Structure 1
Amino acid sequence: MVNAVIFDMDGVVVNTEPVGLEANQKFYKELGIEVTDEIYSDFIGNSDKNIIQKLRSRFNLEQSEEVLLEESYKYYFDAFDTSDELELIPGVKDLIIDLYNNGMTLVLASSAAKRKIEAVFTRFDLHQYFKTKISGEDFEYSKPNPAIFDEAVKQTGFPKEECIIIEDSTNGIKAATGAGVFCIGYKGEHSMGQDTSLANKVITDFKQLDYKTIKNLI
């Protein structure tokens, strides 16, 4: 029986694709590098820190990680603060409220930086529904390393056999599998070719889930 749900954020709770794409294109242009769709797709589910490490290595960038991170955040929040395209994934807030109202413990485990998580949760009034929010910036390795989900399970207060993870990215689903936690793969219209084949269950619409369905999923 399920007692806790661990949510990824980008691509599961909120569609940050328009904001991220706009910001990153400007950032990459400033750096004078060309990041192909194939490279960009591989970044999905990684922390900002790990993405910067990969960029520095692949393109031999001279700037420090700290400088590049701050520059990338400048572009991201410029886009975030002015975007009218940023929106929650359809149906996810209804699911969050349904789970919360029925006593389910909710935890966020996102590769995003803490400042990005706080901005999203404030903009869409989500703080009260989650027991805690965990950021990938606190871990040395990004998804598909399972460390963030190991910690998320610990934070729920329940054994992993009573938890599920909702993920959309190839790396995130691999991390959930590595943590030994039942994973629901969300395959939405903005999934950008992510592989959900390792997920225990795949959905294409959050209307496919509710408290009763999830409670008895395992």
Structure 2
Amino acid sequence: MIVPHVAVVLAAGGSTRLGRPKQLLTRDGETLVHRAARLALASGASRVLVIVGAQADDVVSAVRDLPVECVVNARWSDGLAGSVRIAAEALDHATGATLLLACDQPALEVTHLQRLLEAARRTASSSAATRLGDRVGIPAVVAPGMLQAALAVQGDRGLRDALNAPNADVIGCDAPGLALDIDTPEDIATAVAKGWLDDD
């Protein structure tokens, strides 16, 4: 059984190293932002926020057919933390878990999101995250208190420090393919070779 939760898709970045919006790259003809939002909905989320910023009009248009809420981060160039703060503010009264995911991990599948949700149910912290080498990161399921900690975060770190704090009690779930996030043309080439992105 999937626990009640809301989901936040982080899709505001400027893709400066890539040179084009990663949100609009495609897998099987579907933009990555649409895919991430669709998987968030498929996870059973009662509410899905898509945080947009750079190329906002195009990103909003890409998810227009889905029952999601687009929230604009006008200061997207300040880094990931700003988007997480906006999500925390929008979900200020949320009492359940929040599933945080990005749109630049093309290997993501809904089964991993469901594993995270199930793992979060088994820990006192009600939090679980994706194991990425020697740390954990997003996608992640966080309790309301950890999400509100984002209000004090600056720069491009998001909730990384909170998720990896010694006393965080965050369960790590393996998903090796998610170590590849799309930042450079070389990342695109790797993802295309693995069948995770369309070759355009």
Q: TM-score range by the shorter chain?
A: 0.3 to 0.5
More helix by share: 1
Q: What TM-score comes out, normalization by structure 2 length?
A: 0.40
Greater RCO between the two (CA within 8 Å, min separation 6)?
1
Q: Which structure would you say has the larger Rg?
A: 1
